[in-house]
Structure 1
Amino acid sequence: MVAIVVVVAGRQGLVAYQDKARTTAANAYLVAVEATAPDALEAIAAEGGEGYPMLAQFAVAARLAEAGDDAAEDAYLVLANDAALDPIYREAAMLFSVMNASGSSVEERMTRIGGIAGADGPWQKLALELMIGLSLEKGDIAAARTHLQTLRFSPDISADLNQRLLLIDAALGE
């Protein structure tokens, strides 16, 4: 009976410790996000991995993007290439790297998101929209039309996306 009490007490102690650690991490992240200086966010981001360090890395990259800093592309690429992160976050970071690319060629950007555009997943439609824009930037109207048709026949397109597709189709003309 004493052993059961000790095990239960130990488990409760561990749960309390983990809760306190999560609360401390959440509070540190909130303070860092609200701070105007990037040091606090960068310190959390330096810890690496998922959770608040990953969120801090995204926040640092977003601040760079908002400031028009060319380093945003590289900051997102670091996240996109972090094998420790879940693929959904890596793909989001890859899309953001393309949206904030300043020094990369059109071909390089298309290569980055080609796999996302070609596979079912939560980011496929956004990747296809970006592929349309990149194809047009490259001057390849036929490829833009192909991506447009792929997107148009995708299941579950939203009314907003359908409206954008109609505008793109009208702009491309015949």
Structure 2
Amino acid sequence: MTNIQKDIKEISSEVNPETLNVMVDLFKDSFSIEESRKDTLESKASMVLGFSGIIVGLVTGLVSQENSPIGLNVYTFAFIGSILCFTLSGLFALLTVKLKNFMQPFATLTPEQIDELLSKEETDIKNEIVKNYSDSLLNNQVLNNQKASKLNFAFYSATLGIFLTLVTAITAALGI
């Protein structure tokens, strides 16, 4: 049990029922926000993955159409760098959308535990609700923060890939 969870348990045992109702609503809202955040991160990662795949396909297709031999020059390094960056971007995007075990409050309760919970006083039930939502929220925040970090790496890799693709196009046009 983390310090935050201990603090929440102590606070929820000392508050009046109206305040406890507000705490329950607050945790429910926070949990919903974290669920929305997960969906947003995964949606953005899917867009980055699709974008990276399209660019890699286009760049490799354009280069394969070229008749000139590719030597070790700026063009070659920029081309290889852009392919690597877009590939890394795609990999980080895939890691972002990888399935994780997001916690749901009360998802693991057995029927016996549910019966036991329902036999408690209303204040005790609400305390249990606050505890379960706080546990789920903390777990899901950690997982979403990890997803956000991977999505940032995907974005940075894609940005560098775009830059290197521009360098590739410029050097090809200039014959460097």
Higher relative contact order (CA 8 A, sep 6+): 2
TM normalised by structure 1 equals: 0.22
Q: Please identify which structure carries the higher helix content.
A: 2
Choose 1 or 2 for highest CA Rg: 2
TM normalised by structure 2 equals: 0.22
